[in-house]
Amino acid sequence: MATDSRSKQETARGARKGQAPWRQQADSYLNHHRKVAADSARRLWRMPVASFMTWTVMGVALALPVALLLLLTSLEGVSAGWESSARVTAYLKLDSSLEDARGLAQEIGSDGRVEGVELVARDQALAEFRVSSGLEDALDFLQDNPLPHTLLITPEDSARSQAGVQSLVTYVEGMESVEQVQVDLGWLQRLNAMTDLLSRAVWALSMLLAVAVVLVIGNTVRLAIENRRDEILVAKLVGGTDAFVRRPFLYTGAWFGLGGGLVAFILLELSLWWLSGPIERLAGLYRSDFSLNGLSIDGALALIIVAMVLGWLGAWVAVKRHMDDIEPGEIAGG
Amino acid sequence: MIEFRQVTKRYDSDHTALRQVNFALDRGELAFLTGHSGAGKSTLLKLLMVMERPSAGEVVVGGQKLNSLPRRQIPYIRRHIGVVFQNHQLLFDRTVFDNVAMPLEVTGASPSDIGRRVRAALDKVGLLSKEKMNPMQLSGGEQQRVGIARAVVNKPPLLLADEPTGNLDPELSADIMNLFGQFSQVGVTVLIATHDIALVNEMNCRTLTLDHGRLVAGGSPLMGV
């Protein structure tokens, strides 16, 4: 009833000004939002230390899971790269001659699925082993060379799928003088299993930290509500709707989120910059092209938007818990 | 404009603030609400503001029964009621202008509209020159007039005042009462809770008197409407 009479008034006024009433309503609504948003931002700015501390808490809580996610995606990229460079190693029987081995290498090399074959002759293998293992003296006691001829087979791009590699292995295994064929993907599977586990852990951590962020913002906004109690009372007294009274605090939460997201972004960039040197050295030692990728622009935007949503959510929790308790009943006294 | 029908307000089982109160106020009527402290004056005003709900009976404002009003409709009722408090409830973190503008802001009025109507209200209470000041810099009487400007800025059909002259000297009180008189002349229903008997006698208006929650005088003229 009351709403109706109000909208009738608005209609009358709008018509007098020759402007569509809904247009005027929408304009004033947007205007009010702009004003409230600016006012909330100014209030944060007026308490720089307190605001900055909240931003930092939020930034740290957000940066941690995002950093782990970045690490995870980088790791997944690496293992994908290594999977495609899988090599098949074929050990020949000890009694096969070097000529046999050469012939076999040629035969395998001519197969369509094979890009190249490298023959490591048993003498050459022993020499390398002698140098790299440091077991020179022990090897001297051996009468025979215990190592077989070895073929290092690199599959064609098209045969680098798991099934392709498998069929290649079966083909090579079927050859007469081949003793054993090895595709060492075991460690890769272990790495994959580890990244799977890590990714679950990261998601669980992200959830926990998101809840923490919501609670931190909720508590901060609760203090803001206490500080502006009089204002809330008066606003309710002169007919401010719940939405009207809540609005500044929801904006406050969103601004906290924006600041927190920016701090998180800066923290991430700083730590990436700080880590990039050691990571390059480490990757160099593993002859890997591994690199820890920073956030893309999309990623940074997503981070900030998520942070703002979390801030807004925190404010909503605080507003729900504390503002509805503030009723002007007590204002009029006894 | 206002009607109380057999209104009872009980807070606890042993504390009854209002007992079967019956009265009605017409459009443009100015009435005083008097009684000893604790007689139920504030409770009566709170019922009108929907800060409290009656335990029994009906409160009707502007044809709207407040008993059955859903909670989310309360703000829209309050927009039609101006209230002046003894301690005026001004906000000291903003200017006089912004204080008076609050009732218009909650309705989503346009800035030009707000400017025009706030200045009109401040002009009415004679404080147009102080719109940019902080209410803290004003005297008690001026602060009270800012409170009145805020109460009338959106031209409510009903104006309530709770001890509006409580802290003021007689001369200022008379000024403020004059203002209320002017509002009632343009059709605003005014109800003033006070225990300033001298002032009430001077104004020679209808007076509702409460005693321990019972309306003992002033309820008769429109009773039973």
For chain B, the C-alpha Rg in angstroms (whole number) is: 17
Six-digit token pair at B85? Answer: 């408090």
Considering Cα of A177, then A180, then A183, then A184, what sign does the dihedral take? Answer: negative
Residue B142 lies in a domain: yes
Mean pLDDT for A97-116 is 84
Q: Which residues pair with B211 in a beta bridge?
A: B214
Predicted local confidence at residue A219, as pLDDT: 92
Cβ of B106 and A333 within 8 Å?
no
Predicted local confidence at residue A5, as pLDDT: 45
Residue B206 lies in a domain: no
Residues of chain B contacting residue A34, judged by C-beta atoms under 8 Å apart: none
DSSP 3-state of A272: helix
Q: Count the domains in chain B.
A: 1
pLDDT 10s digits, A123-169: 888 888 887 777 777 777 777 888 888 888 887 777 766 677 778 88
Six-digit token pair at B75? Answer: 């703000």
Q: To which H or E segment does residue B33 belong?
A: strand B30-35
Domains and CATH numbers, chain A: 32-81+189-325 (no CATH), 87-184 (3.30.70.3040)
Residues of chain A contacting residue B79, judged by C-beta atoms under 8 Å apart: 2, 6, 238-239
Residue A231: CA atoms inside 13 Å, Cβ hemisphere, count? 20
Q: To which H or E segment does residue B217 belong?
A: strand B214-217
pLDDT 10s digits, A63-79: 999 998 888 888 777 66
A292-327 b/e with 16+ CB inside 10 Å = b?
Answer: beebeeebbeebbebbbbbbbbbbbbbbeebbeebe
Kindly list the distances between the CA atom of residue A259 and the CA atoms of A48, A220, A274, B117, B177, in Å, as whole numbers in the listed order: 11, 14, 22, 38, 52
Predicted local confidence at residue B68, as pLDDT: 83
Cβ of B103 and A332 within 8 Å?
no
**In terms of Cα–Cα distance, which of B1, B5, B8, B3 is closest to B214?**
B8
**In terms of Cα–Cα distance, which of A194, A213, A231, A208 is closest to A323?**
A231
Mean pLDDT for A101-116 is 84
Q: Say whether pLDDT at A120 is over 90.
A: no
DSSP 3-state of B6: strand
Please report, in angstroms and rounded to a whole number, the separation of the first and last CA atoms in chain A: 31
CB atoms within 10 A of CB A291: 14
CB atoms within 10 A of CB A127: 13
Predicted local confidence at residue A160, as pLDDT: 67
Pairwise CA distance, residues A323 & A318, whole Å: 8
Residue B39 lies in a domain: no
pLDDT 10s digits, B184-196: 999 999 999 988 8
Residues of chain A contacting residue B103, judged by C-beta atoms under 8 Å apart: 238-239
pLDDT class of A317 with cuts at 50, 70, 90: very high
Range of the domain at B130: 90-154
Put the strands of the sheet holding A88-92 in their side by side order. Answer: A114-120, A150-155, A88-92, A178-183
Predicted local confidence at residue A214, as pLDDT: 93
Quick check: A333 contacting B, CB < 8 Å?
yes
**Tell me, what's the ipTM?**
0.86
Residues of chain A contacting residue B84, judged by C-beta atoms under 8 Å apart: none
Residue B200 lies in a domain: no
Considering Cα of B164, then B168, then B170, then B175, what sign does the dihedral take? Answer: negative
Residue B64 lies in a domain: no
pLDDT 10s digits, A236-273: 888 888 889 999 999 999 999 999 999 999 999 999 88
How far is C-alpha A190 from the geometric centre of its chain's CA atoms?
Answer: 21
pLDDT class of A289 with cuts at 50, 70, 90: low
Output the pTM of the full model. 0.72
pLDDT 10s digits, B103-123: 998 888 888 889 999 999 999
DSSP 3-state of B64: strand
Mutation target vs A (from B44, B107, B163, B210; most A CBs, 10 A cutoff): B107
Quick check: B170 contacting A, CB < 8 Å?
no
pLDDT 10s digits, A15-45: 444 567 788 778 878 888 998 899 899 988 9
B92-126 b/e with 16+ CB inside 10 Å = b?
Answer: eeeebbbbbbbbbbbbbbbeebbeebbbebbebbe
In A199-258, the residues whose Cβ lies within 8 Å of chain B are: 230-231, 233-242, 244
Q: To which H or E segment does residue A104 belong?
A: helix A98-109
Residue B94 lies in a domain: yes
Residue B109 lies in a domain: yes
Six-digit token pair at A243? Answer: 């939405």
Mutation target vs B (from A8, A238, A242; most B CBs, 10 A cutoff): A238
Considering Cα of A333, then A334, then B2, then B3, what sign does the dihedral take? Answer: positive
Which DSSP state fits A328? G
Q: Nearest chain B Cα to A233, which residue?
A: B89
pLDDT 10s digits, B7-61: 888 887 778 888 888 999 988 899 999 988 888 888 899 899 888 888 889 999 8
Please name the residue that has the structure tokens 């956030």.
Answer: A295
Pairwise CA distance, residues B191 & B218, whole Å: 12
CB atoms within 10 A of CB A259: 23
Residues of chain B contacting residue A243, judged by C-beta atoms under 8 Å apart: none
Considering Cα of A278, then A281, then A284, then A286, what sign does the dihedral take? Answer: negative
SS (H, E, C) B144-168: HHHHHHHHHCCCCCEEEEECCCCCC
Predicted local confidence at residue A72, as pLDDT: 83
Residue B22 lies in a domain: no
Mean pLDDT for A293-316 is 91
Cβ of A238 and B42 within 8 Å?
no
Distance from CA of B203 to the nearest CA of A (A): 24
Quick check: B93 contacting A, CB < 8 Å?
yes
